[in-house]
């Protein structure tokens, strides 16, 4: 079973379905101000049509190595068949966790995004109970697709190096990753409402919304077009008569 199929199977379980439901509701807020022609979801995570439904782009599509369905594109993560500077928004729903070369994927995202375009990343936090379960998973990976978990600090560093500015941050999944705590994963639960205030570093996952900043270049005037600067000045004449 490949990583995408394993993720699909996990997202159908009670725990995975609770995570996906919470993230789908979060996307309604984070994508509501995303406008333009194209939104691109890279990596399969549930139903792309539902996850990106709130975006106000004219067109939505998704890319994965085994993508299927309407608007799907099959391609490797580090060689996107997308024109440079052609996409207004990109969504990476837990994609960095299983991409073979996550830093190369981010470089490709930077390439295809237009200036001031939006990037939304969802990822699990390795310094949480979810990260502990991932580290000590006795059979396979947890969640099944996750080859690694990347800290928020590391993800921010990579984004900064590429010239992105993080404009919004959300931390969620404060309930431990076991089925008996499913109620705590609901958006209206006490843990999800109070967790960002009292235990933000212990969140099981985080969402970063970043903007691709494009710095303008100020041309330097050639030296020959500038007026010469005089050092000092000639003494002014005086009408005062000598005694």
Q: Which domains are present in the chain?
A: 3-218 (3.40.50.150)
- 142-176 pLDDT, tens per residue? 998 899 999 999 999 999 999 999 999 999 999 99
Q: Where does the pLDDT of residue 103 fall: very low under 50, low under 70, confident under 90, or very high at 90 and above?
A: very high
Chain-centre distance of CA 86, in angstroms? 17
Chain-centre distance of CA 6, in angstroms? 23
More confident residue, 49 or 127: 127
- 70-94 pLDDT, tens per residue? 778 999 999 999 999 999 999 999 9
Mean pLDDT of the chain: 88
């Amino acid at each position: 079973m490949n990583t995408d199929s394993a993720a699909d199977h996990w997202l159908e379980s009670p725990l995975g379905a609770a995570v996906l439901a919470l993230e789908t509701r979060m996307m309604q807020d984070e994508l509501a101000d995303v406008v333009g022609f194209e939104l691109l979801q890279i990596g399969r995570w549930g139903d792309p049509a539902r996850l990106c439904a709130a975006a106000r782009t004219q067109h939505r599509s998704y890319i994965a190595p085994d993508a299927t369905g309407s608007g799907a594109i099959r391609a490797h993560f580090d060689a996107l068949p997308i024109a440079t500077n052609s996409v207004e928004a990109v969504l990476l729903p837990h994609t960095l966790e299983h991409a073979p070369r996550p830093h190369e994927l981010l470089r490709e995202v930077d390439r295809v995004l237009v200036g001031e375009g939006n990037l939304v990343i969802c990822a699990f936090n390795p310094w949480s109970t979810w990260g502990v379960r991932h580290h000590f998973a006795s059979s396979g990976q947890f969640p099944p697709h996750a080859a690694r978990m990347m800290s928020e600090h590391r993800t921010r560093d990579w984004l900064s190096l590429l010239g992105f500015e993080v404009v919004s941050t959300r931390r969620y999944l404060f309930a431990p990753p076991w089925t008996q705590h499913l109620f705590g994963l609901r958006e209206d639960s006490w843990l999800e409402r109070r967790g960002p205030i009292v235990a933000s570093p212990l969140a099981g996952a985080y969402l970063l919304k970043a903007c691709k900043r494009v710095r303008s270049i100020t041309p330097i005037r050639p030296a020959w077009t500038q007026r010469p600067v005089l050092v000092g000045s000639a003494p002014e004449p005086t009408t005062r008569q000598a005694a």
